[in-house]
Structure 1
């Protein structure tokens, strides 16, 4: 007999894909309301704050905590993290984490839900989650967090957090805050997040042999508060820091580290020494090969000059 924690409670079930497409593009189109509000630096910084607050909710909460359990926290702060992530308007926390765990299990195979090498750029970037078949998720994929009733409630009612955030912005700063803090910031936040599914499997460099097409990309790491170190992550996915070395900028990790100093989070998992040493060795080998190639390219050119005289 199926127990309550095993029962699947999908976010949205049995809806026509056309409805999702219409709603999705209507929401995306709200970014054009930016032309109804005169620009000001105050509104600009409201958008920046809204963007990075909710990006942290996706990267640190939805991804590193709920998908990979890369650190620990209290049940209260766990719910706060889930709420902040839900404000990003990327469906429910359990839905997101369950599908992401499946992505790692089948990365860049035919069973991968958003592989650009298998299914194309736009499908992997954003259209995959509009498909009817991905409205549900299997509770058995995320038993560690599915057991919490407050998370199941928030997952089912994932629209409450972004709606509350939008209403709060309007009450504080009126139409201008709503447009810049919600419409503009949500549009940019969504597409920046989705580049990790699409561009991070196409553009960048691969330090580790992760058995997929994941890449490290410095620019995407800046946009996504550290998620751009995607090859690092796919090689050792349980690490709380995706930038493995001091020169790999990872804003989400810096914030989590600061929170650990005051005891809000703890047991931050880091990559083992052998992984870090392997990464350094591979970097040195790559530099050596590049230097050797440069020397070989220069030598024939010099000989040609000599023989021409």
Structure 2
């Protein structure tokens, strides 16, 4: 019998309190920062290898798989619990998410939930109201967002295997590097890990920096979120951001058939074969007529 992650086969343990929020030393923080920028600079190594088609294919494959791991797993599952799965697959999906080099699932979900609680207000980690650079990646360099915010993810932190994975999230990048090297040597690492990771990062960050700035607003959600077909195509469906802020726990962010949402298409296939279930859909009120939004926050929207 498949066991839901909401009803684990064993007692997952007590909910961790504030004492379970380990902070990093400044030295460790700077090491992380050097690695972060080192990967981006290291992506230039692709120019030191003679081009081979397998390098490009490997880069495309690792980019798509890991971007989906962020959109379909870290975001729609761990952050918003928009579907259910078994405890075993929950862990394996978490491991897949760590390969994207965006820390552990508890850290990612904690920061994202904090964003929704304070969207475009004081306390939002990456509001573009503080500038494009801050929203895109500057906030990552702020030590206050370095530690996992366990108070935001008590539902997830009850699982010791997820706490372990959050602590040892480096295993994902290590696995990715090993696979890339096995497939195509050091050229594969340059293309399939360094360049792919850099592209995946900046595509992910584009939602923080642009999805509250460009596009149209269908719903008055109390912040600056917008829908952008350009960002939706770039991010496997995350660009329907105003839809998302309207109903955060929905697994489907493209509410209409013409709103392309590749992340949801993969989730639909997973549901079809029984890997996930209770996949949350848009509520009926999402399709009720809405007046044109005319607020200060949505003045002069881009037609994207």
Higher helix share: 1
| Matched residue, 1:274 | 285
Deviations 1:253-288 (A, max 9, x none): 00000110111000000111121234xx457x9xxx
CA root-mean-square deviation:
1.9
CA offset at residue 11 of structure 1? 7.0
| 2:13 equivalent to 1:28 | no
CA distance in 2, matches of 1:5, 1:173: 43
Deviations 1:38-93 (A, max 9, x none): 22322211111100100111001100000000000001110111111110001111
| 2:128 equivalent to 1:116 | yes
| Matched residue, 2:98 | 86
Residue among 43, 50, 55 paired with 2:67: 55
Contact residue 59 and residue 196 of structure 2 kept, 8 A: yes
Residue among 208, 213, 225 paired with 1:214: 225
Residue among 145, 153, 163 paired with 1:134: 145
CA offset at residue 140 of structure 1? 2.2
Contact residue 11 and residue 135 of structure 1 kept, 8 A: no
- Indicate the structure (1 or 2) with the bigger Cα radius of gyration: 1
Gaps of 5+ in 2: 1-13, 295-304
Q: Alignment length, in residue pairs?
A: 280
Relative to 1, partners in 2 of residues 1:8 and 1:98: Cα closer, same or farther, differing over 3 Å? Answer: farther
CA distance in 2, matches of 1:9, 1:224: 33
CA offset at residue 23 of structure 1? 2.8
CA distance in 2, matches of 1:157, 1:9: 15
CA distance in 1, matches of 2:162, 2:38: 28
Deviations 1:119-153 (A, max 9, x none): 11111111212211111233221111111111100
CA offset at residue 6 of structure 1? 2.4
CA distance in 2, matches of 1:164, 1:87: 7
CA offset at residue 192 of structure 1? 0.2
| Matched residue, 2:297 | none
CA distance in 1, matches of 2:40, 2:229: 27
Q: Tell me the TM-score normalised to structure 2 length.
A: 0.87
| Matched residue, 1:297 | none
CA distance in 1, matches of 2:248, 2:240: 11
CA distance in 1, matches of 2:189, 2:148: 32
Query: How do 1:150-229 and structure 2 match up within 5 A?
Result: 150-229=161-240
CA distance in 1, matches of 2:17, 2:78: 17
CA distance in 2, matches of 1:20, 1:282: 47
Relative to 1, partners in 2 of residues 1:174 and 1:129: Cα closer, same or farther, differing over 3 Å? Answer: same
Q: Tell me the TM-score normalised to structure 1 length.
A: 0.86
Gaps of 5+ in 1: 286-309
